[in-house]
Amino acid sequence: MYEFDWSSIPGSLPLLAKGMGVSLEITFTAIVVGIVWGTLLAMMRLSSVKPLAWFAAGYVNVFRAIPLVMVLLWFFLIVPNLLESLFGIPRGSDMRLGSAIAGFALFESAYYSEIIRAGIQSVPKGQMAAAKALGMSYGQAMRLVVLPQAFRNMVPLLLTQAIILFQDTSLVYVSALADFFGTAAKIGDRDGRLVEMLLFAGAVYFVLCFAVSQLVRYYQKKLKTA
């Protein structure tokens, strides 16, 4: 029978917290960039200018058809070299975090753009017509009337996507970046207590994600009664 030994956890909490910091940094940056870039992609896709619509459709389809872990590896292997040669950044500087964030942001944008596109389409067409009838330009109508309503409807889906994104950040282990999961695995290896460490890490992921998903449910109920 396996004997559990949790004693190495308390001492490693500072390191684990640092790892969590990396995971959260990737998550939040990817959410912010993903929503901004995703909104632009969604508007391009709905635009009547055909080349813009094609570009956005192509982008979304490509990123949704490739496994995330491959995107991360490419960014880990290619982007640092590219930046080094473009901006003369000294060789060997650690760009794992930067390339991981870039990879996540561009990948998640594709998913966010589909959520946002559905959100924009969920706003009745009459709203755009009413805004235009008042003399607003397309941009004003979008910014002041359509998008605020679209985002209000989308909050639950955006948060759900954020949960998935947070879990997916554990995939940065392919670049040996010390995120929460990577740190836990390393410490577990070091102390010969991998099982305990990974169980603990799993519990932390569960608590955080479950809490946010409860928040989503609460918000959805509120949205229904409003």
The answer to whether 96 contacts another protein (rule: CB under 8 A) is no
Q: How far, in Å, are 24, 70, 155, 194, 214 from residue 208 at the CA level? A: 11, 26, 18, 21, 10
The answer to whether 216 contacts another protein (rule: CB under 8 A) is no
**Which among 14-22, 147-155, 182-190, 203-211 is the span making contact with another protein, rule CB under 8 A?**
147-155
Cα–Cα distance, 59 to 106 (Å, whole number): 10
**Which CB, 145 or 178, lies closer to another protein?**
145
The answer to whether 149 contacts another protein (rule: CB under 8 A) is yes
Cα–Cα distance, 103 to 178 (Å, whole number): 16
Interface with another protein (CB under 8 A), residue from 92, 94, 126, 224: 126
Residue among 143, 133, 221, 206 nearest 170 (CA): 206
Cα–Cα distance, 98 to 131 (Å, whole number): 41
Question: How near is the Cβ of 222 to another protein at its closest, in Å?
Answer: 14
The answer to whether 170 contacts another protein (rule: CB under 8 A) is no
Stretch (H or E) spanning 140 = helix 138-140
**Which among 49-57, 70-78, 129-137, 216-224 is the span making contact with another protein, rule CB under 8 A?**
129-137
Chain residues in the site for another protein (CB under 8 A): 124, 126-127, 129-137, 140, 144-145, 148-149, 152, 226
